[in-house]
Amino acid sequence: MAHALSINGAPSQSSSSGGRFSLFAKGFRPFFLLASVFGALMVPLWLLALEGVIQPASRFSPMYWHAHEMVFGFTVAVIAGFLLTAVGNWTQRETAVGTPLALLGVLWIAGRVAMSMASLLPPLVPVIVDLAFLPALAVVLARPLVATRNRRNFVMLAVLAALFAANLMTHLDTLGVAPGWQRRGALVAVDVVVLLMLIIAGRVVPMFTRNATGRDGIRSIPALEALTIGLMALLTAMDAFGGLALDRAIFAVLAGLAGVVAVARAFRWGTQHVLRQPLLWILHVGYAWIPLGLLLRAAGEATGGVYSSMATHALTAGAIGALTLGMMARVALGHTGRPLAVGTPMVAAFAAMTLAAAIRVAAPLLPEQYLASLVFAGVLWSASFVVYAIVYAPILVTPRADGRAG
């Protein structure tokens, strides 16, 4: 089982490291670098747009441009890097390296450029360019999964299909085909990413913790794993198809129940043993934002007020921010043959990300300091990814330290 879930080694010796320059030797390399640079830039740009200092040529409002690009730009880049690498390990077949991988990266970049200058282009051009990446990624991943009949991980293809559908919803709104779907598409996209994080966290967090601490009692509880994922999948489907036609109390109960079960499933994950290991505690902290976000959503559905905004940013700035940063740090080390340990700069980045999320989530409670809170949180968020880019760029573009392929 550990081998099936491992993402710390290369699937084979068949792929070439490409000489001294190895950026396209494995999927995580270009996409983690792209994600870190984009993540560092997008939040300051959004803050400038929010204040009217700049006006992006997007067909979305500044708020939805920010939401769209943080999910379908930044988060999808991290997902792509992770899955291109993990599927290779799960199937023992390569996904995309070399020129095909570079072309995937170019397609992702084209989507970001198209979205930033959409109002200067014919209406369908940015839509087509932005929507093209996820199907292309799905095809690349489907080939080894289907060829090896790796049914357990077909769920990853379903996740990409759901993200594509959510992205399509946002674009149909901007085209005037489906007014009001922009908000629903953004909500469903966050739901799908949370569902993916729940699936991946359940596979790797207890395993990483057990392997690092040597404590055999750390394990997952299968019934709670299934229940957590099932509840989140149901909530996602209700957001996609139920919308305002359902009583908000139903959403409150379901989100609250999902949050409680998400806490219970992690009870045996050994969180108390990770405080001295940054590569572990950042993952545990990132996971903790998920049940907190779900419980805040339950409060928002039941009572309204500021809780809905707090829930959104607990799941995005908190869970997505911390889990992506932590996984990008660990995967890049493991897949380049380096020790699973980080230095002071990355520990500081983990701390900054945690503080950024806490400030962003709490910002609606501080109306007089709201803008200052956004700026402070944004600076910390961007600093985290700037540090990652500086520390990891040399690792991502050079061959593995152990001489292996990948």
Domain ranges of the chain: 20-397
- pLDDT means per 10 residues, the chain with 406 residues, are 41 44 96 98 93 87 92 98 96 95 98 94 95 98 96 96 97 92 94 98 96 91 96 95 76 96 96 95 98 97 92 98 98 96 97 98 95 96 98 96 87
Distances (CA, A) of 234 to 129, 158, 299, 303: 31, 14, 18, 22
pLDDT at position 17 is 40
Q: Residue 63: CA atoms inside 13 Å, Cβ hemisphere, count? A: 5
The model's pTM is 0.94
pLDDT at position 73 is 97
pLDDT digits (tens, 9 = 90+) for 188-242: 999 999 999 999 999 999 999 999 999 989 999 999 999 999 999 999 999 998 7
The tokens of 92 are what?
Answer: 């023992």
Distances (CA, A) of 203 to 9, 70, 84, 269, 388: 16, 25, 17, 11, 24
Rg of the chain (C-alpha set): 20
Cα–Cα distance, 49 to 63 (Å, whole number): 9
Q: Has domain 20-397 been given CATH number 2.20.25.10? A: no
pLDDT digits (tens, 9 = 90+) for 347-377: 999 999 999 999 999 999 999 999 999 999 9
The runs of H, that is alpha helices, within 175-270 are 181-213, 222-241, 248-265
